[in-house]
């Protein structure tokens, strides 16, 4: 036991010493490296004026290099599409300024290298587009145009031999309706019995005796539009009334009336019937109004115009009076025969001799204006009535105004 203990203690002591020697060697090595580094740094600082070999500024500068590279790459990635878009718009604007229709063109840029595609009417070579679209900032530009559509081939024409026309026997429509007093005489030729019956019934509607001297041609093929033309003549006969005289006539191309209408209303009815006639006929008329009725019609038309009014103690025509007299000139020109008396009046103020003279001056002022504007002087007779025939109550301002007037009276002489 004592031996073992001694042996153990010897072994432990030897082990302790061996380990202690190794640890001491390591420390010595580390110390040697540190001293060498210190000597190196000291030598560098002496040679560089006391500066460290890797100062923080230099370390920061080297660290900034990757950041600058990243910024340059990112800026380029953003700027390229912007340049491409600008050059595309710029090229299209240059083409349009050169008169090129760009509606069927596409312009695309890869950085500063551009390509024009599509089509332009009448253009197969894109060189002119390249010349027109080239501008500042463009590195290269090419045009690749679609091939123009081929013109359609001319189709051979085939001549079809003309068919020989076959003559078809037709009959004309030529009718006269003579309005003579209390009867109507129908003469001429119609295409069918139905046409004859239509005209006879229209003539009978006037209340006159009808003398039917019409003949029916009997042709199977009627002239185109004949039914409408016969209906037009029937309408004209229905419009003549009981007092009109003259001749209504119908051919294949014309419908007309020459004669005298019983009154203005009958004349208007005849004109309306002629204008509304169908069948492609040309209508014509020579219609006068019966002299026995012209005076009544003229009197009614002039009465519609109203009186010509004057200021107190004046025979001068104001603007309203002139406008009314211009319409009177137009009415008088429609009726050339009836005589017209132009009658002047005054209100009750003043003495009779003065009012009589004033009424005469007013009548003469109107006559002079009418004659100066084309109405025959021998149709007009001026007359002064003074204050003796008032149209309204002289006890009111309104009545006094209405009495200072000139009116028209139509005579048959």
To 10 degrees, the CA torsion angle through 353, 354, 357, 358? -150
Angle at 95 between CA 90 and CA 98, to 5 degrees: 125
Same domain membership, residue 375 and residue 324? yes
Q: Collapsing DSSP states into helix, strand and coil, what is residue 398?
A: helix
Same domain membership, residue 204 and residue 181? yes
- Domain boundary (145, 162, 197) is at 145
Express the helix, strand and coil content of the chain in percent, nearest 5 each: 45, 20, 30
- Domain boundary (258, 289, 320) is at 289
Find the CATH number of the domain harbouring 366: 3.30.1330.60
Domain that holds residue 331: 294-411
Same domain membership, residue 299 and residue 234? no
Residue 154 lies in a domain: no
Measured between alpha carbons, how far is 261 from 299 in angstroms, rounded to an integer?
18
Residue 151 lies in a domain: no
Backbone angles phi, psi at 306, to 5 degrees: 90, 175
Residue 32 lies in a domain: no
Same domain membership, residue 107 and residue 207? no
pLDDT at 134: 76
Residue 403 lies in a domain: yes
Same domain membership, residue 259 and residue 186? yes
Same domain membership, residue 316 and residue 262? no
- Domain boundary (240, 268, 289) is at 289
Same domain membership, residue 262 and residue 222? yes
Same domain membership, residue 318 and residue 273? no
Residue 371 lies in a domain: yes
What is the DSSP-derived secondary structure letter of residue 19?
Answer: H
Same domain membership, residue 270 and residue 216? yes
Same domain membership, residue 361 and residue 266? no
Per-residue pLDDT of the chain (413 residues; tens, 9 = 90+): 333 443 344 434 444 444 444 445 555 555 665 666 666 555 545 555 555 555 555 545 445 545 545 554 555 555 678 888 888 888 888 888 888 888 888 888 888 888 888 888 777 777 877 777 777 888 888 888 877 666 666 666 656 555 554 444 445 678 888 887 788 999 988 888 888 899 999 888 888 889 998 988 876 555 677 788 888 888 888 887 666 788 888 887 888 888 877 667 777 887 888 887 766 778 777 777 666 667 888 888 999 999 999 999 999 999 999 999 999 999 998 887 789 999 999 999 999 999 999 999 999 999 999 999 999 999 999 999 999 899 999 999 999 999 999 999 998 64
Which tokens is 236 given? 């004209």
Same domain membership, residue 268 and residue 195? yes
Residue 178 lies in a domain: yes
Alpha-carbon torsion 267, 271, 272, 274, what sign? positive
Find the CATH number of the domain harbouring 280: 3.40.1520.20
Alpha-carbon torsion 294, 296, 297, 303, what sign? positive
Residue 201 lies in a domain: yes
Is residue 211 within 8 Å of 185, Cβ to Cβ?
A: yes
Same domain membership, residue 272 and residue 313? no
Residue 35 lies in a domain: no
Q: How many domains does the chain have?
A: 3
């Amino acid at each position: 036991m004592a031996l073992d203990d001694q042996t153990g203690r010897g072994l432990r002591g030897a082990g302790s010493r061996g380990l202690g020697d190794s640890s001491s060697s390591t420390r010595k090595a580390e110390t040697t490296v540190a001293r060498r580094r210190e000597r190196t740094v000291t030598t560098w600082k002496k040679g560089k004026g006391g500066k460290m070999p890797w100062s923080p500024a230099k370390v920061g500068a080297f660290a900034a290099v990757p950041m600058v590279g990243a910024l340059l790459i990112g800026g380029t990635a953003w700027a390229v599409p912007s340049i491409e878009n600008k050059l595309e718009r710029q090229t299209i604007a240059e083409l349009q300024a050169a008169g090129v229709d760009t509606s069927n063109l596409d312009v695309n840029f890869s950085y500063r290298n551009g390509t024009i595609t599509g089509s332009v009417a009448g253009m197969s070579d894109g060189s002119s587009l390249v010349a027109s679209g080239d501008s500042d900032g463009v590195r290269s530009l090419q045009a690749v145009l679609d091939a123009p559509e081929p013109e359609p081939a001319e189709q051979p024409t085939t001549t079809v031999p003309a068919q020989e026309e076959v003559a078809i026997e037709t009959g004309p429509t030529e009718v006269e309706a003579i309005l003579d007093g209390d009867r109507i005489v129908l003469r001429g030729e119609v295409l069918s019995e139905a046409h004859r019956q239509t005209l006879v019934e229209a003539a009978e509607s006037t209340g006159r005796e009808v003398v039917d001297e019409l003949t029916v041609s009997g042709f199977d093929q009627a002239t185109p539009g004949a039914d409408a033309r016969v209906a037009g003549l029937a309408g004209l006969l229905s419009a003549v009334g009981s007092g009109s005289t003259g001749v209504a006539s119908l051919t294949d191309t014309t419908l007309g009336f020459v004669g005298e209408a019983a009154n203005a209303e009958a004349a208007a009815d005849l004109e309306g019937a002629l204008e509304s006639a169908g069948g492609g006929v040309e209508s014509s008329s020579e219609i006068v109004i019966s002299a026995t009725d012209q005076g009544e019609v003229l009197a009614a038309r002039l009465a519609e115009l109203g009186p010509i009014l004057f200021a107190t103690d004046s025979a001068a025509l104001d603007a309203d009076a002139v406008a009314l007299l211009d319409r009177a000139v137009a009415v008088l020109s429609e009726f050339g025969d009836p005589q017209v008396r132009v009658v002047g009046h005054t209100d009750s103020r003043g003495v009779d001799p003065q009012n009589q003279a004033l009424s005469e001056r007013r009548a003469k002022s109107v006559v002079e204006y009418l004659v100066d504007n084309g109405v025959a002087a021998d149709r007009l007779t001026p007359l002064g009535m003074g204050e003796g025939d008032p149209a309204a109550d002289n006890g009111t301002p309104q009545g006094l105004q209405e009495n200072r007037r000139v009116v028209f009276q139509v005579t048959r002489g």
